[in-house]
Copies of this chain bind each other. A is one copy, B any other.
Amino acid sequence: MVISARVHYACVAMLELAIQSDEGSPVAIREIADRHGIPGPFLVQILRSLRALGWVQSIRGSHGGYRLSVDPAGITLLDIAEAIGSQEAGCRTEANSTPIAGMLQKQWDDAAEASRSILGQATLSRLVDKARHGDETMFYI
């Protein structure tokens, strides 16, 4: 699975919003963009997509910004990558024409599934905890 800059930025933004969700005031795009060196107008595009997905809400006007509008425990990096990124993982060959192609396709699928499994376990809430408590290894039941 190739993670584009777009997907990476989307994850950065979602994490920033998750971290700052305690404070009442919304977070401005500029703040996130400046802190992470992301081109502002590009981040605007990305947040529009996230809003279309219903994952963030926007507050217009002065002192406006964005707020997370979902439970951070319910969104994983995989969700974001699949929603924002266009690039499929693995390889989609047309109609396993030959036994060899079919066998290879299965390997590509297995490899892609392995990546997806990792990213599917990384919820925003876990990552926020990780970011807050430093690098200590954490155990979950």
What is A's interface to B at a CB cutoff of 8 Å?
1-5, 7-8, 11-12, 15-16, 19, 35-37, 77, 87-91, 93, 97-101, 103-104, 107-108, 110-112, 114-119, 122, 127, 130-131
Quickly give the copy total for this chain.
2
A32 to B114, CA, bound (A): 30
A115 to B5, CA, bound (A): 20
| A94 (CB) vs chain B CBs: closest residue | B37
Instruction: Give which listed residue, B36, B99, B127, contacts A131 with CB less than 8 A.
Output: B99
Most buried by B among A87, A110, A114, A119: A114
| B residues less than 8 Å from A110 (CB atoms) | 118
- Further contacts, 18 of them, CB under 8 A, given A3-B108, A15-B104: A1-B1, A1-B111, A2-B2, A4-B91, A8-B91, A8-B101, A11-B104, A12-B101, A15-B103, A36-B98, A99-B131, A107-B118, A110-B118, A111-B114, A111-B118, A114-B114, A114-B117, A115-B115
Interface majority SS (helix, strand, loop, mixed), chain A = helix
| B119:A107 contact, CB within 8 angstroms | yes
| B residues less than 8 Å from A2 (CB atoms) | 1-2, 87-91
A107 → chain B closest CB, angstroms: 5
Known: A36-B98, A100-B12. A1 touches B93 (CB 8 A): no
